[in-house]
Structure 1
Amino acid sequence: MKKIYIIRHCKASGQEVEAVLTVDGIEQAKQLAERLQQYDIKRIISSPFTRAIQTIEPFSKKMKIEIEQDERLAERVLSTQNFDDWLEKLEQTFLDENLRYIGGESSKEAVARIEQLINELLESSTTDTAIVSHGNLLSLLITKYNSKFGFTGWKTMRNPDVFLLTKDGQDVDIKRIDM
């Protein structure tokens, strides 16, 4: 059975590419590393964003597993414009997967890029992989496999948060793991 551990980064100082983990986030990353040791993770792939890499570094070092960076795990850009009502705009993209704001990426486009990576992982020889990314992108991925998750599920996501995607034959399942 293929297992992909889907990890949302720990608490960060901001949303920009170079935003680092907060003091609490650094502690969360250490605790996450301890908890992830119970799983047989053999490969780590991360968003190139600093906060994602910092989230998985303690585990990577402890287990001596290299962190591979993949642009397909970068956070989805909603728009290059600032919106006062960004939350409502985000919700609309869960309702209309083709909706695209100026300079942004539609939900459909974002899912296509992360799904390409997921499909590669499901076809690879490695059985247990951890991917580290961001709330918006990961909630779209989870919604692909569980349509009930959606915007409401995104609002329930924590920093960090861990989900397990499994594939057994043709059946794909995704569920939250309590950490």
Structure 2
Amino acid sequence: MTTNVYFVRHAHSVYTSDEVTRPLSEAGLRDAKNILEKLKLKKIDTFISSPYRRAVQTIEPLAKYNKAEIKLNETFQERKLAQGEVKDFTAAITKVWQEPDFAFDNGESNFKAQARGIEGLMDVLHTYQNRNIVIGTHGNLMVLIMNYFDAKYDFTFWKELQMPDIYKLSFDSVNLMKIEHVY
């Protein structure tokens, strides 16, 4: 049997400095309905999300369609780049990808964020074997998880992600069989 994990990068959000409560934009809310249409026939068993509002809102229509609750899981929240706002986001994110063990003050290195994401994924794979699972998450963390299995999922790949984006990772137990772009 196969365990399929659909990682859903959140849809477009309205920028605020509060990472936790930042909501989806009107376009993001429309895209969340598109995700429902794309995945509603996939027989999703379990819904898990980063506790960040934009991630929850992105998978909420699909969870409601399936009459399922969304389990919040902090291991799938976005990587913490630094304490507070970063003045030059592009320079900061480039640095952590170029130096995966580097972390800004009170931030997470790529290695630390990746380890957190993989720990969460392994827990999901052990808990929900042979099921179809949707995980609402964030672009950087999603790519770091995928990068753990295949180095081609790197900084360049991350920069080309869409909001939203969906990748299906199929596992035999905890062994990755394939990664597919779904939407």
Asked whether the two chains share a fold, i.e. TM above 0.5, the reply is: yes
Structure 1 portions without partners, runs of 5+: none
After superposition, what is the alpha-carbon deviation per residue over 1:4-49, rounded to whole angstroms, capped at 9, x for unaligned? 1111011100262111111111110011111111212100000101
Query: For residues 66 and 169 of structure 1, do their structure 2 counterparts lie closer, same or farther at Cα, with a shift above 3 Å needed?
Result: closer
* 1:100 pairs with 2:107: no
* 1:32 pairs with 2:22: no
After superposition, what is the alpha-carbon deviation per residue over 1:101-145, rounded to whole angstroms, capped at 9, x for unaligned? 012111111111111111112222442111111111111111111
Structure 1 residues 74-89: aligned runs within 5 Å: 74-89=77-92
Report the counterpart of residue 49 of structure 2 in structure 1.
46
* 1:151 pairs with 2:155: yes
CA distance in 2, matches of 1:121, 1:91: 30
Report the counterpart of residue 130 of structure 1 in structure 2.
134
**Range that drifts further, 48-57 or 167-176:** 167-176
4+ aligned runs moved over 4 Å, structure 1: none
Structure 2 portions without partners, runs of 5+: none
CA distance in 2, matches of 1:69, 1:169: 23
* 1:19 pairs with 2:22: yes
CA distance in 2, matches of 1:68, 1:96: 33
Please state whether the residue corresponding to 2:108 is helix, strand or coil: coil
**Correspondence for 1:109 among 112, 115, 118:** 112
TM-score, structure 1 normalization: 0.92
Report the counterpart of residue 167 of structure 1 in structure 2.
171
